[in-house]
């Protein structure tokens, strides 16, 4: 469904991504783990069309979308849930959710999708009239994911969904990701929480200094000495 072919990316003169290649099959959860400043968020921004590449290609559903603008990718179901949640704090929960459907041609017929996200996140239903900024950090992350789902993604890009959250909330987010995958949604998950990422994923990539240093089945990567030592604290 999604493929990066030898992607390079620069910020000014800084070479952030160096020949990054990865693939995500339909219905998979694929994780990208690595240390700070490894290029994980930049990888998602490139895929989402928010950052231009210096070389290589991004392919989605068999088509080269490297030069396609972000809004076209969103319309085709390639949707990013950004790091740091980035909700609209002065908008109500409901209005935040409706903003997630802004690029949909059928955005005037959203009751079914609202019912689906309220089923996944009952607290959002309870707080649908509250301002987004009044929610807890965990609730804001739920809102960010739910807003992404309102765009009817076929491939959901999740950037650090566990960042800054309490362990009990992290576990809840993990259960939600599994539930979404069980419904057939394709997910590319970027996480600094390697234990969570490798537990959820079918396959995983390790990104270091802008290049892929390891890749394979998540269950196998969990057993490698380098991943145990650097990312799992073993």
Residues 6+ apart with CB under 8 A from 21: 3, 4, 5, 6, 7, 56, 212
- C-alpha distances (whole Å) from 210 to each of 39, 42, 147 are 5, 9, 29
**Residue 179 counted as domain residue:** no
Band (pLDDT 50/70/90 cuts) for residue 85 is confident
113 shares its domain with 63:
no
Residue 82 lies in a domain: no
Structural domain harbouring 123: 87-152
Same domain assignment for residues 146 and 158 = no
Q: How many distinct structural domains can be found in the chain?
A: 2
Confirm if 11 and 18 have CB atoms less than 8 A apart.
no
Backbone phi and psi for residue 50, each to the nearest 5 degrees, phi listed first: -95, -5
Is 109 a domain residue?
yes
Element (H, E) at 168: helix 167-182
Q: Are residues 160 and 233 in the same domain?
A: yes
pTM: 0.93
122 plus 198 within the same structural domain? no
Q: Is the pLDDT of residue 122 over 60?
A: yes
Q: Is there a single domain that holds both residue 148 and residue 160?
A: no
The mean per-residue pLDDT over the stretch 41-45 comes to: 96
Q: Are 19 and 6 in contact (CB under 8 A)?
A: yes
pLDDT tens per residue across span 3-18: 999 999 999 999 999 9
- Assess if residue 216 is contained within a domain: yes
Tokens standing for residue 64: 């080269």
Residue 74 vs residues 14, 84, 113, 154, 225: alpha-carbon distances, Å: 28, 19, 16, 10, 39
Q: Residue range 136-158: average pLDDT?
A: 95
Q: Give the residue from 154, 147, 218, 208 showing the smallest Cα distance to 181.
A: 154
DSSP state of 131: B
Residues 162 and 231 in one domain: yes
Q: Are residues 136 and 192 in the same domain?
A: no
In a domain, 68, yes or no: yes
pLDDT at 233 over 90: no
Whole-angstrom Cα distance, residue 177 to residue 22? 20
**Is 59's pLDDT higher than 60?**
yes
47 with 135, same domain: the answer is no
**115 falls within a domain:** yes
- The pLDDT of residue 234 is 57
| Average pLDDT for 58-84 | 95
Please say if the pLDDT value at position 107 is more than 80. no
Shared-domain flag, residues 96 and 65:
no
> Residue 34's closest CA among 47, 51, 16, 50?
16
| Residue 21: per-residue pLDDT | 97
In a domain, 19, yes or no: yes
Q: How confident is the model at residue 143 (pLDDT cuts 50, 70, 90)?
A: very high
Q: Are residues 106 and 164 in the same domain?
A: no
Whether residue 51 sits in one domain with residue 105: no
Tens digits of residue pLDDT in 160-188: 999 889 999 999 999 999 999 999 999 99
CATH number of residue 213's parent domain = 3.40.50.300
Exposed (0-12), middle (13-18) or buried (19+): which is 124, by Cβ within 10 Å? buried
- Identify the pLDDT of residue 9: 97
Question: CA 170, CA 121: separation in Å to the nearest integer?
Answer: 14
Across the chain, what does the average pLDDT equal? 93
Whether 178 is in a domain gets the answer no
Q: Check whether residue 47 and residue 100 sit in a common domain.
A: no
């Amino acid at each position: 469904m999604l493929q990066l072919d030898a992607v390079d990316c620069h910020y000014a003169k800084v070479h952030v991504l160096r020949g990054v290649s990865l693939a995500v099959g339909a219905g998979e959860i694929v994780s990208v783990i690595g240390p700070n400043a490894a290029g994980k968020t930049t990888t998602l921004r490139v895929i989402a069309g928010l950052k231009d590449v210096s070389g290589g290609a991004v392919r989605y559903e068999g088509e080269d979308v490297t030069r396609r603008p972000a809004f076209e990718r969103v319309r085709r179901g390639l949707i990013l849930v950004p790091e740091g949640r980035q909700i609209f704090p002065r908008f109500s929960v409901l209005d935040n959710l409706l903003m997630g459907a802004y690029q949909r041609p059928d955005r005037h017929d959203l009751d079914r999708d609202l019912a689906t996200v309220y089923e996944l996140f009952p607290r959002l239903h309870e707080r649908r009239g509250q301002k987004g900024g009044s929610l807890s950090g965990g609730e804001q992350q739920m809102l960010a994911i739910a807003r992404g789902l309102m765009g009817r993604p076929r491939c959901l890009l999740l950037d650090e969904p566990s960042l800054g959250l309490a362990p009990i909330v992290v576990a809840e987010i993990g259960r939600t990701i599994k539930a979404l995958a069980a419904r057939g949604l394709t997910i590319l998950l970027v996480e600094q929480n390697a234990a969570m990422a490798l537990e959820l994923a079918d396959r995983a990539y390790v990104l270091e200094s802008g290049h892929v240093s390891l890749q394979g089945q998540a269950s196998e990567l969990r057993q490698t000495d380098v991943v145990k030592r650097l990312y799992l604290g073993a």
